[in-house]
Structure 1
Amino acid sequence: MSITRIGIVGAGTMGGGIATATAQAGVDVVLIDARAGAAAAALEQARSFYARAVEKKRLAPAEAEAAGARLKVAAALEGLAECDLVIEAVFEDMALKNEVLGKIAAVVRADALIATNTSCLRVSELARAVTYPERFLGLHYFSPAQVNPIVEVVRGEHTGEAAIETALAFTRRTGKQPLACKDQWGFCINRFFCPYTNEAARLVDEGVAAPGAIDQIAKEALGVAAGPFMVMNIVKPRINLHAIRNLAPLGPFYAPARSMTVTGDAEASWTIEPAGAVDPDTARLVGDRLRAGAFLPVLEELDEGVATPAEVDHGAREALKFGRPPCALMDELGRAEVERLVAPLCKQYGHALPTSLERVGSLVQG
């Protein structure tokens, strides 16, 4: 099936960004949001995005006009009836998503694909709300979806091969880089990114270092363009906390840190003071903990077959801007050093040492 028109339910940051990118790529988009004026506001933001692209010579005026014309707002879900694909992009809450997905399934064609943009929830559990679940899958775009190239294409337990192939072709045609992965809480990328940010918060709770120093050390330890606290402030700590809470079934290591809970529940942002000089011993400790916080979940997802080492690293580079992606970095450090880093976390939280440790040294090349 060729996808020529998509619907997006939820016109917030993610839904609006997906709409902007998709219309620019030549596909008609119908945008719906239950909040008064939200879809119209997203449409205006998309047109402003195109206008800035014209100013920067990244888009021709005629291309910007055509992209804006492909965006439409519908007043009710019935406006999705002729869409080939509908993407649910509402708040990351299982009950809300189930309710919305059930309503979508009731109005679209039987052969239309239905996707969820969930960042952490299992697709197979959300599929229960959808008739003909073989046409249901995860399409997790990364923020900002207007420009971030990665989309996780998640196969649920009942997702059909035809749905996956159609989704892969659609994401490529719309200028994205699909990352196929198995259905699991957190999928491929948030599976390790959320625990990495959570380990940063634990370091604050323990009084090891302040957010500014941790952000500075992270740039060296993992080659990130921005440290964990700056990134959390961009995506909003409340949203990051919600994603972490959705990883709870994976075990005690994934439980949110105290300051993560306090900051997220208060809908506050982290205070990031300039770091200044950092004591070398503190820098080594923080670097070790941040690496361990990313390495342990990566090794666990490799054990589970969620994604390959190459896919993990590709997502880390392209979606998160990790200059030293986790699998390549583990290979560089070697098995003994990686075990030294992750073993304390396994002992503290009661997790078994991942069997993928045995592959360290040849993860990427193997």
Structure 2
Amino acid sequence: MDQSLPESPMKPVQSVAIIGAGNMGSGIAQKSAQEEFDVQMVDREQQWVEHGEQTISDFLSEAVERRIFRPEQVEAIQARITSVVGTENVSPDTDLVIEAVFEDFDIKKSVFGTLDDVCGAATIFASNTSSLSVNDLAMASGRPNRFIGLHFFYHPAKNRLVEVIPAESTSAETLARTVQYCKTLGKVVIVCADRPGFVVNRFFVPYLNEACLLLDEGIATTAQIDAVAAKATRAGMGPFALMNLTGPPIALHANDYLAEQLDCPRFTGAASLRALVEAGEMWEIGEETECDEATAAVISERLLGQVFAVCSQIVAEQVCSMEDVDRGAKVGLRWAGGPFELMNRIGITEAHRMASDYADLAGFELPDLLAEQAGTGQPFSFSYIDTEVDSGIATVRLNRPEAMNALNETVIAQLGETLEDINGRDDVHTIVLEGAGKAFVAGADVKFFVDKIRADAVDDIHAFTA
């Protein structure tokens, strides 16, 4: 990938076209219009465009009822969305076109073929893909240097996470403009490498399947597995409730794809999931959630072991950092703690054992990451300060967007060390401070104060604030 920065001032994205007016496409269109972008919502037929319009209208009406928007704001949002029938009718001078059609390579290739004939040379193409190879799509798009992958999470008007996946051919300007667009949407951005499943789906999709395998083996019921899983990850929903929300066919398709791409038969859609999809049904989740401790331990260890093992692969393959894996889980899935934070809480030695057991079960080799960390006897440490230096300007970014970059002891210490290091450099004449996500700094971290009070460590609070 070309990492050189554009010499001329970067033109920000202002006009956006969304191809596909389904749940994802209409959600991306809605969120873009909310943030004052000029939006075209495109589909093949008038009925599908109208369906997208109605979906947006329903969401915005609910927002008015909840006093999130006033009626005049909703009117302005809807006025920014132009409905278009036919991909061939997209405006040629559109800055960014986001394809959000069915997850099929040939269909997407056809869409981009039409767009390449219609759109001007400066238009950036993006695919809202959750699994397909961005490198392959870029080569098929007709403009590989102005192509990028985006993975929005459901519902895109509400969920704050987006994965940005540059192809090997993606230019630095294309990446920068796309990231800027996503940040303007208020998204937490994870830039990651093009590997099957990217970041979140790489560990989360097999997690859903492992829950189905536990069901197939008769270990527990859907309700019991959901209850144990939600407690283990400190999430609001378990795997079966989540599949009912997003659609079991999506889970089956994603698992089969990962199994094929990663050559891991363990990820192949479970028999119960396949039967459910073939029958066109949803998971039945009963009321009885209690199970004995031994059963709960089996469920928890299998599910967490799978997550820990796959997340170690993600980091070992340099798809993204540990911090971004955790960020994906907390922002995208709304887990209270990320996988590496959970490993610290459980203990690295125990987490390594659980991951090793799962790797043996799945038939793949576990990277050395967990074994090496267990050997130190120390938990993982995380970095929340990113630094870039270019032409004498040092950009220091507070990168804790899941907490709106709130300040605690760790962040303050890391920021102080970073600034001290930069101040000692002769090649830096300017320092720019910025925050990742939608906030610069939310102030002091309230959780820090609560934790210290509970630990009867008031002196630490005094030292922090003095």
CA distance in 2, matches of 1:296, 1:259: 24
| Counterpart in the other structure of 1:305 | 318
- Contact kept in structure 1, 2:88 and 2:118, CA below 8 Å: yes
Partner SS, residue 335 of structure 2: coil
Q: CA deviation at 1:28?
A: 1.2
| Counterpart in the other structure of 2:38 | 28
Corresponding position: 1:261 with 2:274: yes
Mark the CA change 1:97 to 1:265 in structure 2 (over 3 Å): closer, same or farther.
farther
* One-letter amino acid matched to 1:284: A
**Any idea what the Cα deviations from partners look like across 1:126-168, whole Å, max 9, x if unmatched?**
1121112011111111001111111111111111111111011
Corresponding position: 1:346 with 2:359: yes
Unaligned stretches of 5+ residues in structure 1: none
**Any idea what the Cα deviations from partners look like across 1:94-150, whole Å, max 9, x if unmatched?**
222222222222211111110011111121111121112011111111001111111
- What does 1:1-366 align with in structure 2 at a 5 Å threshold? 1-80=11-90, 81-248=92-259, 249-252=261-264, 253-357=266-370, 358-359=372-373, 361-365=378-382
Partner SS, residue 147 of structure 1: coil
**Any idea what the Cα deviations from partners look like across 1:269-303, whole Å, max 9, x if unmatched?**
11111224211100111011110121111111111
Mark the CA change 1:364 to 1:20 in structure 2 (over 3 Å): closer, same or farther.
farther
Higher RCO (CA < 8 A, seq sep 6+): 1
- Contact kept in structure 2, 1:251 and 1:351, CA below 8 Å: no
- Contact kept in structure 1, 2:347 and 2:379, CA below 8 Å: no
Q: CA deviation at 1:31?
A: 1.1
Q: CA deviation at 1:36?
A: 4.3
CA distance in 1, matches of 2:149, 2:258: 16
Mark the CA change 1:166 to 1:197 in structure 2 (over 3 Å): closer, same or farther.
same
Mean Cα deviation higher: 129-138 or 44-53: 44-53
**Any idea what the Cα deviations from partners look like across 1:2-30, whole Å, max 9, x if unmatched?**
21111111111100111111111101111
Higher CA-based Rg: 2
Unaligned stretches of 5+ residues in structure 2: 1-10, 384-466
Mean Cα deviation higher: 44-53 or 213-222: 44-53
CA distance in 2, matches of 1:364, 1:184: 25
CA distance in 2, matches of 1:231, 1:315: 16
Q: CA deviation at 1:362?
A: 4.0
Q: CA deviation at 1:229?
A: 0.3
Mark the CA change 1:304 to 1:265 in structure 2 (over 3 Å): closer, same or farther.
farther
Mark the CA change 1:101 to 1:245 in structure 2 (over 3 Å): closer, same or farther.
farther
**Any idea what the Cα deviations from partners look like across 1:212-248, whole Å, max 9, x if unmatched?**
1000001211111100000000000001111112212
Partner SS, residue 85 of structure 2: coil
CA distance in 2, matches of 1:238, 1:48: 25
CA distance in 1, matches of 2:381, 2:334: 18
- Contact kept in structure 1, 2:164 and 2:192, CA below 8 Å: yes
* One-letter amino acid matched to 2:40: V
Mean Cα deviation higher: 47-56 or 225-234: 47-56
Q: CA deviation at 1:176?
A: 1.6
- Contact kept in structure 2, 1:328 and 1:364, CA below 8 Å: no
Partner SS, residue 289 of structure 1: helix
Partner SS, residue 296 of structure 1: helix
CA distance in 1, matches of 2:315, 2:218: 32
- Contact kept in structure 2, 1:7 and 1:29, CA below 8 Å: yes
CA distance in 1, matches of 2:339, 2:280: 30
- Contact kept in structure 2, 1:92 and 1:243, CA below 8 Å: no
- Contact kept in structure 2, 1:6 and 1:86, CA below 8 Å: yes
Partner SS, residue 274 of structure 1: coil
Mark the CA change 1:231 to 1:35 in structure 2 (over 3 Å): closer, same or farther.
farther
Of all paired residues, the percent bearing the same amino acid is: 35
Q: RMSD of aligned C-alpha atoms?
A: 1.5
TM-score by length of 1: 0.96
- Contact kept in structure 2, 1:309 and 1:364, CA below 8 Å: no
CA distance in 2, matches of 1:243, 1:116: 16
Partner SS, residue 32 of structure 1: strand
TM-score by length of 2: 0.76
Mean Cα deviation higher: 159-168 or 253-262: 253-262
- Contact kept in structure 2, 1:142 and 1:319, CA below 8 Å: yes
CA distance in 1, matches of 2:111, 2:373: 42
**Any idea what the Cα deviations from partners look like across 1:46-80, whole Å, max 9, x if unmatched?**
12322322222211222211100011111222332
CA distance in 1, matches of 2:72, 2:46: 30
Q: CA deviation at 1:193?
A: 0.7
